[in-house]
């Protein structure tokens, strides 16, 4: 949305209060991205969030479901914002999760694991397993690309949904087809999903309040 140029004549933005509110609501629809306002999309803390939203839209998935799965898979506590956020440079192997400081460090960690013969390795925002999904990525560079990682996971989840005819079963099968493991995982994801929806609703209400106040100030 084009911002108002302060050098433009005031008459060029002669909007009624209702129009201001409508424009604010329109902007809100596109602004409820996982990345917080004012934060750079290049910030690693924001990469998985932005990618999961794009993947949800591309594959017509339920809003915020991918974000909830990502936080369940690669959630890391951000002390600055006091919240759990998916981390793109996450590696899980040998029963140990590793939050690496950079993409290159994550790639080198996987290469070292593979050199020791370790094959069962989960990588990236969505913790795609390299052993069970050997054709997912052409190389580790692609595997740790948040957009590629989440796009593959979204397509996989959509396929599970088509097969199971249920998002509930699909979410469980994303982790395991063993009933107990699937049920436990699904419970974690659904808890995170509820939290994501509550957060989005709080942000939406705050934005609506700000829009209304802006509209009143212009009336």
pTM of the model: 0.77
Residue 20: predicted pLDDT = 30
* b/e burial code for range 111-123 (CB count within 10 A of at least 16 → b): eebeeeeeeebbb
The domains of the chain are located at 42-206
Task: Please tell me what DSSP assigns to residue 80.
Answer: T
**Max CA-CA distance within the chain?**
69
Do the Cβ atoms of 59 and 50 come closer than 8 Å? no
Local confidence pLDDT in tens for the 219 residues of the chain: 422 222 222 222 222 333 333 333 333 333 344 344 344 557 999 999 999 999 999 999 999 999 999 999 999 999 999 999 999 999 999 999 999 999 999 999 999 999 999 999 999 999 999 999 999 999 999 999 999 999 999 999 999 999 999 999 999 999 999 999 999 999 999 999 999 998 888 888 888 888 888 888 877
- CA nearest to 123, candidates 176, 217, 134, 181: 134
Query: Roughly what angle, to the nearest 10 degrees, separates helices 44-58 and 65-74?
Result: 140
The pLDDT assigned to 41 comes to: 58
- Cβ partners under 8 Å of residue 177, min gap 6: none
pLDDT at 216: 83
pLDDT value of position 40 = 56
- CA dist 160 and 72 (Å) reads 18
Close Cβ partners of 58 (under 8 Å, ≥ 6 residues apart): 151, 154
Q: What are the distances in angstroms from CA 136 to CA 3, 142, 173?
A: 41, 9, 17
What Å distances lie between residue 78 and 71, 159, 184, CA to CA?
12, 32, 25
Beta strands in the chain (DSSP E): 75-78, 83-86, 90-93, 96-99, 121-123, 128-129
Predicted pLDDT of residue 18 = 35
């Amino acid at each position: 949305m084009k911002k108002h140029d302060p050098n433009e004549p005031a008459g060029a933005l002669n909007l009624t209060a209702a129009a201001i509110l409508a424009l604010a609501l329109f902007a809100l629809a596109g602004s409820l991205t996982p990345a917080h306002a004012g934060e750079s999309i290049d910030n690693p803390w924001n990469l998985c969030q932005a990618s999961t939203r794009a993947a949800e839209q591309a594959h017509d998935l339920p809003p915020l479901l991918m974000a909830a799965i990502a936080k369940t898979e690669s959630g890391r506590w951000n002390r600055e914002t006091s919240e759990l956020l998916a981390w793109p440079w996450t590696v899980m192997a040998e029963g140990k999760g590793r939050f690496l400081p950079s993409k290159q460090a994550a790639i080198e960690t996987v290469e070292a694991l593979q050199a020791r013969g370790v094959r069962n390795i989960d990588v990236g925002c969505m913790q795609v397993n390299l052993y069970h999904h050997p054709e997912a990525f052409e190389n580790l560079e692609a595997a740790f690309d948040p957009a590629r990682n989440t796009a593959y996971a979204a397509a996989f989840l959509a396929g599970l949904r088509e097969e199971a005819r249920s998002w509930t079963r699909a979410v469980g099968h994303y982790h395991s087809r063993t009933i107990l493991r699937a049920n436990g995982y699904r419970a974690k994801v659904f808890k995170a999903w509820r939290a994501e929806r509550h957060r989005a609703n709080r942000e939406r209400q705050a934005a609506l309040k700000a829009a209304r106040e802006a509209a009143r100030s212009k009336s």
